[in-house]
Structure 1
């Protein structure tokens, strides 16, 4: 792998996929030839669906996401009037999986325990220690989803009104070409997107929770901000997507937490489909796998002053500057902020991920209090190659707050 200097970011982001392919690089990183993930090389249906359907409909999807979180909390979290020990990595995984399933599949299939097992276990086995696991989960997903896809098509052909159209599976069915739309391929893509979305949202949410408990001075200002939004917009279930965009302090803390705990040290991967010469004369040969050292770039003192200092309101303050209120958000990309990539091939699911994480964190922050077990601090991150994970065995003590302090839902 060739790690390029940041001076090439803008040139690289402008290159078409015929010259520098992010999809080929992504398939390579997923070991697609061995894990059956090379399906993303056949078409870009998943990418188009996220861009053309999911992101434009986030306002409509906010209420179902909140509703599913209410259901997930009742199912997955302990009713802890006194302190209990939880492992946030596993608890938050279940919350993210249920919300994602609601948006990916819709009711009632999103609550099918077989699907939840597929999406969570497939995600947890994402390191591919056993290649056969990837194939097994894909086969199980096809067995479950192919009959559902056929049923939805029959209902559409019969002209029956359906309440199941506003989810990722139905949107993929809607915009797929004839070559893209076979049921087995659609089911396969659902698994691929579950791997990408559940894993990253879970990790970000866990990191934020760990960092908040480690830095409790930020909890009060973030809770105060949430209360202010509640005064303006009513009970939590009445919040729409713009309500969550008002949470600038929480958004800033999320971005700073991601800076300290990036999902990967390198990103913006491309495989060169042909030789290419940059403006300064540098030639990158065909078949080279290139990337950017995103964490090192972001933590250059010229990009982030005092990068070793955790300032949870760093980006909140930057947004107070003239003409910068729309910048420095968790989901925005910039030339030197590349966790989600940059340019036309930026992560298409980042706006959904940002909203999903905020929906979860608002409930967890307002309804519960936390502390580390006696004598313990923030669990150390786990590293595997260039990837950084929150510690799966890390523990927190959690207790429900009094009724008057919780969110009105």
Structure 2
């Protein structure tokens, strides 16, 4: 009986692979009878090979590969101009993100209730970035004193993955919640541990068919931990949210009003104003902020340590901005924009170490026919192999060239292009168009603040005889090595930033 059930399940799954999805080329199976779960295991271990192979064969046309939880329909970037005009009622990025992060089982499904988080980042956070540099720098100074080791004249080993996580979580908390909550160790634990356990959960769940996720999550410690941190967040934040709501209703003002939570309360509709849901949403938004900013900053530090000749060049650029705009603590958003060499280094580091090899996710809510006749069927999960696409338009893509984008910006009419936070049809780490990541400008400013302080105040080097630590890969996700070491040493007082 059991053998019959297994055989039936296998035959049904194979039928769906070959005949149930969009009729486009299938990549990733070694032969027609290979199980999707063997193919999924290979994708888990080496997603880059699957995606690069598919893109090499079908760089200008749709193709697909199979995962244990769904089939993924890959599209070339030539469709971006057409896709970016589609409404969420036709192609939903939110449903795709919730699905890709295992939605209900990781507590990420809160983003399906409304788009308050997206609107707040777009309408409030980004326009106020110029006023946020001072609180960001203030919190960074506090974090450096609290969380980095004292190393006057001595080389001290740190694990940057963990040290940078503390810096990023503190700065994000300052901007998202304001003082004094941003310095509450309970919140810092919630925001960082929730993020870690979401990724543990989805990496494990993605190894199995979707219909088993509920059963597996019941026995998966990380999913229970995620739920527990959501409960802790509500217990911590709900009383504060209610207090803020009362203060706003009474017209009370505070010097601590400029933070994401207050802005959410300002623009939330009555049905979006439930304190428990706002607390939940704050946790989810912290995940998005901490995850990408921390990883990018760590990768840049590793790359600077591996290519130390660029450190002097970047320091000279920082000194030039100080000469023009005053000491670092006086900088506004425009000062950070002038750091074109640092920005180029960040973008090249991200190209070699992207947070994910897939982006531009959408779930089709209805059938849609593209202008060339390609059919995107209802229910299809579409995405783009963003790293393969970007490398495909990059000369000598295997070469780590930190000034690559700096040189491009010297061209006529190119000064505002090729930046870390800008999106292009073939550079899709942050998406593209009106549904591109609304927090990317905040992330760029946060990362630059951290890097300027760390580059100017400390020297960095890899352990003797050790090259750059190898990244960790799981599915399409790429993580900096958590156990990697860097040595840091405080620079002489006269060469550090003035506080």
State TM-score, norm by structure 2.
0.81
Give, in angstroms, the shift of residue 337 of structure 1: 0.3
Contact (CA 8 Å) 2:364, 2:381: kept in 1 or not?
yes
Give, in angstroms, the shift of residue 163 of structure 1: 2.1
- The residue correspondences of 1:101-120 to structure 2 (distance < 5 A) are 101-120=173-192
SS in 2 for 1:255: helix
> What is the rounded CA distance, in whole Å, between the counterparts of 1:14 and 1:255 in structure 2?
26
SS in 2 for 1:179: helix
Counterpart in the other structure of 2:79: 8
Match of 1:393 among 472, 483, 497: 483
Counterpart in the other structure of 1:311: 401
> What is the rounded CA distance, in whole Å, between the counterparts of 2:316 and 2:125 in structure 1?
31
Give, in angstroms, the shift of residue 238 of structure 1: 0.7
Question: Per-residue displacement from partner, 1:282-303 (whole Å, max 9, x unpaired)?
Answer: 1011010000000000001xx1
SS in 2 for 1:66: helix
> What is the rounded CA distance, in whole Å, between the counterparts of 2:250 and 2:299 in structure 1?
47
SS in 1 for 2:463: coil
> What is the rounded CA distance, in whole Å, between the counterparts of 1:125 and 1:33 in structure 2?
14
> What is the rounded CA distance, in whole Å, between the counterparts of 2:290 and 2:354 in structure 1?
16
- The residue correspondences of 1:68-87 to structure 2 (distance < 5 A) are 68-81=139-152, 82-87=154-159
Contact (CA 8 Å) 1:128, 1:134: kept in 2 or not?
no
Counterpart in the other structure of 1:270: 362
Counterpart in the other structure of 1:99: 171
> Is residue 99 of structure 2 the alignment partner of residue 31 of structure 1?
no
Give, in angstroms, the shift of residue 160 of structure 1: 3.0
> Is residue 137 of structure 2 the alignment partner of residue 66 of structure 1?
yes
Q: Max radius of gyration: which structure? A: 2
> Is residue 330 of structure 2 the alignment partner of residue 258 of structure 1?
no
Counterpart in the other structure of 1:145: 237
Counterpart in the other structure of 1:336: 426
Give, in angstroms, the shift of residue 234 of structure 1: 1.3
Which consecutive residues of structure 2, in runs of 5 or more, have no partner in the other structure?
1-71, 202-221
Give, in angstroms, the shift of residue 75 of structure 1: 0.3
Match of 2:121 among 34, 39, 50: 50
Aligned residues: 407
Counterpart in the other structure of 2:66: none
Question: Per-residue displacement from partner, 1:224-258 (whole Å, max 9, x unpaired)?
Answer: 00011111111111111111000000000000000
> Is residue 251 of structure 2 the alignment partner of residue 159 of structure 1?
yes
Give, in angstroms, the shift of residue 125 of structure 1: 1.8
Give, in angstroms, the shift of residue 305 of structure 1: 0.8
Give, in angstroms, the shift of residue 174 of structure 1: 0.7
Match of 1:346 among 429, 432, 436: 436
Question: Per-residue displacement from partner, 1:80-109 (whole Å, max 9, x unpaired)?
Answer: 111111000000000000000000000111
Give, in angstroms, the shift of residue 123 of structure 1: 1.6
> What is the rounded CA distance, in whole Å, between the counterparts of 2:453 and 2:459 in structure 1?
11
Q: Which consecutive aligned stretches of 4+ in structure 1 deviate over 4 angstroms post-superposition?
A: none
Mean alpha-carbon deviation: is it higher for 152-161 or for 90-99? 152-161
Which consecutive residues of structure 1, in runs of 5 or more, have no partner in the other structure?
none
Counterpart in the other structure of 2:93: 22
> What is the rounded CA distance, in whole Å, between the counterparts of 2:294 and 2:318 in structure 1?
21
SS in 1 for 2:199: coil
Give, in angstroms, the shift of residue 342 of structure 1: 0.5
Contact (CA 8 Å) 2:198, 2:223: kept in 1 or not?
no
SS in 2 for 1:378: coil
Match of 1:125 among 182, 197, 203: 197
Give, in angstroms, the shift of residue 135 of structure 1: 1.0
- The residue correspondences of 1:270-289 to structure 2 (distance < 5 A) are 270-289=362-381
Question: Per-residue displacement from partner, 1:63-93 (whole Å, max 9, x unpaired)?
Answer: 0000000000000001111111100000000
State TM-score, norm by structure 1.
0.98
Give, in angstroms, the shift of residue 124 of structure 1: 1.9
Counterpart in the other structure of 1:326: 416
> What is the rounded CA distance, in whole Å, between the counterparts of 2:297 and 2:331 in structure 1?
20
RMSD between superposed Cα atoms in Å: 0.9
Contact (CA 8 Å) 2:106, 2:198: kept in 1 or not?
no
Contact (CA 8 Å) 1:370, 1:397: kept in 2 or not?
yes
